[in-house]
Each structure stands twice: as C-alpha cells, then as structure tokens.
Chain A
Amino acid sequence: MPLIDMPEFSGDLLAEFAARRTERVNTPVIQPAEPFLDMAGEDLRRRIFLTESETGANLCLRPEFTIPVCLRHIETATGTPKRYSYLGEVFRQRREGAYEFYQAGIEDLGDKDIASADARVIGDAIGILKALLPGRKLGVTLGDQAVFEAVVSALGLPFGWQRRLIHAFGDMAHLEALLERLARPQPVTGLYPEIAGLLASGNEAELVSRIDRTMQETGYSTNASRSPAEIARRLKEKLELAETRLDGTALLLLREFLTLQLPLADAPAALAGFADAAGLKLGPAAALFDARLAALANAGADLSAMTYRAAFGRPLDYYTGLVFEVTEAGSPAVLAGGGRFDRLLTLLGAKDHIPAVGFSLWLDRIEAVRAKQ
C-alpha cells in the first residue's frame, strides 16, 4: 500500500499476518451505516462519521473492520473456514486520540473447534504484539460469557431472568440493578382489574382476544409490531418473573462469582471449587473453558501470567463466549481486544451458523508504546 502515513511497522505486521496463514482483505472506507447501528446500537451514532448518499442512504466512514469483513465474507460466499486479516484506517470520534487511526486484526471464521480457535487468536494477538514490542511485558485479561451463562442457569432462575442477566453481562451498573430487583421483588401493580382477572384465571385466549379487540377499536392493528399474543405472553411472564426472589445465599454466590479475578492458571480450580461449594454444575461451559486453557498451554502460553476476570464481558448480543484484552503490563491502554461473536454472521444475514472469533490491534497505541524507549 503506498500510503506514506501508515505505521512504520506495517511491513512487519503484514509479514506476521502472512506467516499466520491469513488472507488479507480490504473493505471500502465508505460503508452503509445501518449494519453498524443495528449491531452496536444507537450509541455508536455519536461516535461515527455519518453522511448521506444523494438518494438518502445512510453512509459512514468505516468505524471498525469486523462488520465489513463479515459482510464481505457473506457476499463473496467463498465458504469456511477462513482466516482473514486486515490493516487500514478507521474513523471514530474518541475522547483521546485522533479521529482517524489505523487498525489491524484477524477474523477467524467457521472453525468448529471452538477451544482451539479461541486459543489460536489469543496466541496470534500476543505473538504479533511480542514481535512488534520486543522485550515489553504484556498483560492479558480473559473473560467468558458462557461461564457466566452457566452460573446463572445453574442457579435455577427462570429463563426470562437468565436472559435479563446475560443481556446485562459486561455492564456492571445494569447488572447490579438487576440483582437488586432479584433481592427485593416488587409486585406488578396498575393492571386493569379485568386484565388481572383474566391473568389470574389463566384464560389466555380471552386475554388475547381482548387485546386484539382494543387494537382494532383504536386503529392500532394495521401497523402493530407486537401482536396481541406476544403482549399477553409477556404479560404472563412478567407476573411470574416479578415473583422470583433470589435468596440471600444465591445472591451472594452470584456476587462472589462476579468478583473472581485471578491468574488464569488458577481459574479452572477456582471455578470448580466455586461450583462445588455452591452445589452448581457448570457443565459444557466449564469443559470448554478448560479445553481452551489446555489449547493455550499447548501453544506455549504462560497461563500464570494471564488474568481471568469473571465479570469481563461485552454487553452486545452478538458476543457469545471468550473476550480478551492485551495491554502493556501495568498500563490501562488496550493494545489488542477481541472475542468470540458466534451470533454476528447470522445477524448480518448469513444463512448458515458460522462460529467466529477475532481481535483488533490499536496501531496508534502500539506506536506510542514503541516510541517510549
């Protein structure tokens, strides 16, 4: 690439990507904005550079690579497994740093051996950073949403409550608010007596037709997004969930789990100990966690130098399992961040389920670390 303002270590980086048997792809700088806003939510709108085409389509400057790389994969329909790499500029409004900066990374699509694919991308990220930052000590932190899901499920909470907690995973304030509600359930109030009666007698058919009638009368039916059956079903579920109380012991367990932070090498024993003491079975999630660690150790990673933090997650609904971050040891600046996003390709329109894991490198921060010798 002839750009003269590329990071000076771009050549080394591309050589690393090639040695790691990835296919380098490029994506247009100008992207349709909808997929980003749809996947990451409206919050992203303030942070990206939006514009409009002459025909009114929402466009933006590429704010990251994962979504464009995945969209490109779906469009080109070249099958899996695939290991893509990218290196290019992204555009984002940040509190600190320039609005345009370089990112590079790897997206590993379609490998059904989850544990080894997870271990491979962590190894890729660390390996590349070690090559770019020789002699620097790195800090690696791992989290795993699947383990949290297993804990929540083992506590025997109703499915609706599990969904709420899993959805909030990674957002500690939101999670705390939910735990507070579980500790002190509030009964549902304000229902019309007639509706409350229908719910109490379990007459769901009549409830649905009541809702339907009101929708017809108020002219709302024509364009209603939520159907009478959906509203009735959730109303019923809401009443059930409102009665759910998590006893003090279970709440303490959940809180204790969320505070776990320890060397990764000790994490399997700690999780097993936690599960035993709590009388919980973590099942396949724990097995996958251990398998990932075994794969990492096999690849020569030093597990005692990495950290497992149980509450580490990303509150977006396409992340499914592993999340990880690499920093320079003792510094908060994230040099590489990644994770598993098994739901993303389906959400973007892929017909088949495609497991996916990847990471991106913050090249401006890496450059800054290289500069301070």
Chain B
Amino acid sequence: MSVITIALPSKGRIKEDTAAIFDRAGLAISAVGNDRSYRGRIEGMDGVEIAYLSASEIARELASGAVDFGVTGEDLVREGMAGADQRVEFCARLGFGQADVVVAVPEIWLDVETMADLGDVAADFRARHGRRLQIATKYWRLTQQFFSSQHGIQLYRIVESLGATEGAPAAGQADIIVDITSTGSTLRANHLKILSDGVILKSEACLVRARKPDHEDDPRVAQIVEAVRGVL
C-alpha cells in the first residue's frame, strides 16, 4: 500500500487549530525526530505521513498531486489551479482561518457600490485617464474569473501586489484592489469599501483531497475524511 501524505500548515494559528481538530478526530499527530521537525505521523495509523509546509505550498502540492491531503485556505487552492473542483475535493470546511476575497474600491468613489458600477467606470476609464483601470492583487485567477466570467468586465489591468495591497490605491499603484479580509478593519483604515456584490469567495481552512484514482478503494482515505468530518 502506498504512503498517504497529508500536508499541514507549518506555522501559526492555523497550525495549532489544525492540530487541535486532528486531535479531536482521534488522529493525534506526533513529530518524527524532534519537535521542530517538518515531518510527522499519525499515531496508530500506518502508512500515513504528515508533511509540514507553508499554506501556499500546500495548494501547489495538491495541484501537482504530490500530496494526498492538505489543510489550507480555499482561496489559495482556487487561486493556485484551474478547474479546482475537478482536481481536488473539498472534504471538510474546518471553521477557522475565515477570510473573504473581496473587491474593494476607495470609499470616496460615492458612485461605485456594485460590480455593475465598476463595469461602467472600467468601460470608459481609458478614454478619461489614458490607461485601463488598474487592480492591485495577488489573486490573478480569482479576479479574472470574477470580473470576466461573472460580470462581463474585460477591460482592466492587474498590478501584482505581494503585500500591503490595501495601500495600493492611496499610493497610486492601482485604482482598486482584490484582497483578503477577515474583519474589514484594515480596509476601513485605508478608506476602502467592499462592493455590495464584491465578495468573490468566502474562504476558510479546508481539508482538501487531491483526486487520485487509487484513493477509491483505500480505506485509510475514507477513514481520515470521516474522522475529521465527525468532529466538526
């Protein structure tokens, strides 16, 4: 029987919250070697390995099928691969790490409350400003899907932002942002507002399975999923 690898977050609150759920589910994790090791195993379950990775690497490893399970944010999984639902299964929503991926515009854009408003502004942005509307984000894929497929907005440009995205409009790097927010307080502090229909994704930490044919008759796979679901 091949080894089942579960990729778990390697640090922070999300690591602790994950460990707590696995504990409650009867899947107690012990580190291999010392406490700071990045490998672990599940007590009493043979052929299952834990790999501690960063949350965004977990999404990547799930996409490539290098791991069987992962715990990471839905936003990172959907951003990291095309056709996510065909390639992975979201087995359980774990109830922590909640954050929304949202479209936010300057508060003072009193005329922009909806995506339709933004579509109007984007349509004649070039005529007024000599360039396309610019969106600062690290969520390229989610932005494109939301803007073009769902709202028919094609004419905008993405400006890659790797951090402090909320500051981009005031700094003149972009006009609006697509970013993650949990309480909205950072957005408000930067005088940005979320569009009324501008929630792209309500994300939280999930137990995600890479869809692999040999999972189908592997009892350990079903056992892990059921154990986690059972304590939620």
Interface set of A (CB-CB < 8 Å, partner B): 37-38, 40-43, 45-46, 160, 163-164, 167-168, 171, 173-174, 177, 181, 188, 190-192, 195, 211, 214-215, 218-220, 222-226, 230-231, 234-235, 238, 315-317, 347
For chain B, residues 86 to 100, give those with C-beta under 8 angstroms from any C-beta of chain A.
none
Contact of B117 with A238 in the complex, beta carbons under 8 Å:
yes
Q: A37-B157, A190-B113 are in contact. Are A164 and B106 (CB under 8 A)?
A: no
Task: Please state if A219 and B152 are interface contacts (CB–CB under 8 Å).
Answer: no
- Contact at A225–B129, with CB atoms within 8 Å? yes
What 10 A-B pairs come out closest when comparing CB atoms? A223-B172, A174-B152, A41-B154, A235-B111, A234-B111, A218-B191, A167-B123, A225-B175, A43-B148, A41-B155
Q: Which single residue of chain B is at the shortest CB-CB distance from A175?
A: B152
Set of chain B residues within 8 Å of A167, measured between Cβ atoms:
119, 123
B105 to chain A: closest CB distance in Å? 10
- A-contact 0/1 string along B129-141, CB 8 Å cutoff: 1011000000011
Q: B84 within 8 Å of A by Cβ?
A: no
**A42-B157, A168-B152, A218-B191 given; A163·B124 CB < 8 A:** yes
- Option from A42, A46, A181, A315 in Cβ contact (under 8 Å) with B116: A181
Q: Which residues of B contact A164 (CB under 8 A)?
A: 119-120, 123
| Chain B interface (Cβ < 8 Å from any Cβ of A) | 82, 106-111, 113, 116-117, 119-121, 123-124, 126, 128-129, 131-132, 140-141, 143-144, 147-148, 151-152, 154-158, 169-172, 175, 191, 196
Which interface residue of B109, B124, B126 has the most chain A CB atoms within 10 A? Answer: B109
User: Is A215 a contact partner of B144 (Cβ separation < 8 A)?
Assistant: no
Contacts known (A160-B120, A222-B172, A223-B172); A43 close to B154, Cβ less than 8 A: yes
Bound-state Cα–Cα, A348 to B191, Å = 35
Q: How far is the CB of B190 from chain A (nearest CB, A)?
A: 9
Instruction: Please give the distance in Å from A158's CB to the nearest CB on chain B.
Output: 12
Indicate if the CB atoms of A38 and B124 lie closer than 8 Å.
no
- Across the interface, which residues of B come within 8 angstroms of A190, CB to CB? 113, 196
Asked whether A45 lies within 8 Å of B129 as measured between CB atoms, the reply is no
Nearest opposing residue in chain A for B174, CB measure: A225
Residue pair B152, A195 in contact (C-beta under 8 Å): no
5 contacting pairs across A/B (C-beta < 8 A): A42-B156, A46-B141, A168-B152, A191-B110, A316-B154
Most-contacted residue by chain B among A163, A167, A230, A316 (CB, 10 A): A167
> Known contacts A163-B124, A226-B121; is A231 also within 8 Å of B154 by CB?
no
Between A37, A177, A188, A226, the greatest number of chain B beta carbons within 10 A of the residue's beta carbon is seen for A226
Query: What residues of chain A lie closer than 8 Å to B196, measured between beta carbons?
Result: 190
> Shortest CB–CB separation between residue B163 and chain A, in angstroms?
18
CB of B86 to closest CB in A, whole Å: 14
Q: Which of B106, B110, B143 contacts A195 (CB 8 A)?
A: B110
Given contacts A43-B154, A238-B117, A317-B155, contact A215 B108 (CB under 8 A): yes
In Å, the complex CA distance between A208 and B226 comes to 59
The reply to whether B126 and A45 form a contact with Cβ atoms under 8 Å apart is no
Q: What is the chain B residue whose CB lies nearest that of A166?
A: B123
Contacts of B172 in A (CB 8 A): 222-223, 225
If A164-B123, A225-B175, A315-B152 touch, whether A45 touches B116 (CB-CB below 8 Å) is no
Q: How far is the CA of A167 from the CA of B172 in the complex (A)?
A: 27
Residues of B within 8 A of A195 (CB): 110
A171 touches B111 (CB 8 A): no
| Chain A residue, CB-CB nearest to B173 | A223
A42 close to B111 (CB less than 8 A): no
- A contact residues around B110 at 8 Å (CB): 191-192, 195, 211, 231, 235
Q: List residues of chain A with CB within 8 A of the CB of B191.
A: 218, 220
Rounded to whole angstroms, the CA-CA distance of A192 and B132 in the bound complex is: 29
Q: Cβ of A220 and Cβ of B148 under 8 Å apart?
A: no
Residues of the A chain whose Cβ atoms lie less than 8 Å from the Cβ of B170: 218-220, 222-223
